[in-house]
Amino acid sequence: MLDIIVGTLEKLPLVTAFAIVGVIMWISYAIGKLTSNRIHGSAIAIVAGLVLAYVGGKVTGGSKGISDISLFAGFGLMGGAMLRDFAIVSTAFGVKLEEVKKAGLAGGIALVVSVIISTAIGAAVAYAFGYTSVVDMATIGGGAVTFIVGPVTGAALGASSEVIALSVAAGVVKSIAVMILTPLLAKPAGLTTPAAAAVYGGLMGTTSGVSAGLAATDPKLVPYGALTATFYTGFGCLMVPSVGYMTLAALFG
């Protein structure tokens, strides 16, 4: 009997994920109501997702959270890059171009400023912990930009796999920290308007962190933040291994 149930669920991975996520949403929004929406239901659901990911990672030792357990493989499909990007694009529907123009300039400035600051912080932390070669500093600096920029930089500059792994870890910490901290810090940090959301997207840059952070804060702000954030990793991949590396080489080489 159990075999039949588990076998069926494993044959219908995406459908199973839809069913379970629906239940998670329902429970989370019910808890949110109990707090009289002081904590948003979507924030609770995202934290529940992260807890599941932690459990999945501990149980399997894999890197894809709960989706490494075959019964929950559909989470990887549902929450994978393809459907995530598709859903992000859909949030742009109904956005006014005038708002985007207004938000765009500040968002663009934020993006450039943040790639510089993140690389500098990452490189400085690497230096403080004894990774004093320019290649290592640039790679870990790239990881502090996003968990994609780190390995791209490391591969381009020929960093060791240990340093590349550290840069990925730094990027993952950043992305999860953005998910958890955004709903808590949104109001004090002034994240209340489309322009502020565009700036926030440019400052944080991690698409997964920003998309989850804004979803848990105010879904109306999602398109503005996502718009700038989606340029961040590409820009980082462009700048950190080239300009970033050369600057660090000039200073420390």
Partner 1 sequence: MLIYGVSLMSGCLIAGVIIGKLIGHMVGIDADVGGVGIAMLLLVVISRWFIDRERMSAMAQDGIKFWSAMYIPIVVAMAASQNVVAAFDAGTMAFIAGFLPVVAGFLLIRPLAALGGTVETEDAAKRSAQGAK
Determine the interface stretch with partner 1 among 1-9, 30-38, 189-197, 245-253 (rule: CB under 8 A): 189-197
Query: What's the CA gap between 133 and 127, in Å, rounded?
Result: 8
Between 8 and 192, whose beta carbon lies closer to partner 1?
192
Place of tokens 């955004």: 182
CB of 148 to partner 1, least distance (A): 8
Contacting residues for 142 by C-beta, under 8 A, at least 6 apart: 119, 122, 149, 150, 151, 152, 153, 154, 167, 236, 240, 241, 244
Q: With beta carbons less than 8 A apart as the criterion, state whether 222 and 87 touch.
A: no
SS (H, E, C) 205-245: CCHHHHHHHHHCCCHHHHHHHHHHHHHHHHHHHHHHHHHHH
Between 95 and 249, whose beta carbon lies closer to partner 1?
95
Say whether residue 100 binds partner 1 (CB under 8 A). yes
Between 125 and 249, whose beta carbon lies closer to partner 1?
125
Query: What's the CA gap between 70 and 6, in Å, rounded?
Result: 10
Q: Kindly tell me which residue out of 157, 159, 179, 248 binds partner 1, with binding defined by CB under 8 A.
A: 179
Question: Which residues ranging from 110 to 149 are in contact with partner 1 (CB under 8 A)?
Answer: 110, 113-114, 117-118, 121-122, 125-126, 129, 131, 140, 143-145, 148
Determine the interface stretch with partner 1 among 3-11, 31-39, 102-110, 243-251 (rule: CB under 8 A): 102-110
Between 2 and 209, whose beta carbon lies closer to partner 1?
209
Say whether residue 7 binds partner 1 (CB under 8 A). no
Q: Kindly tell me which residue out of 174, 245, 247, 248 binds partner 1, with binding defined by CB under 8 A.
A: 174
CB atoms within 10 A of CB 62: 13
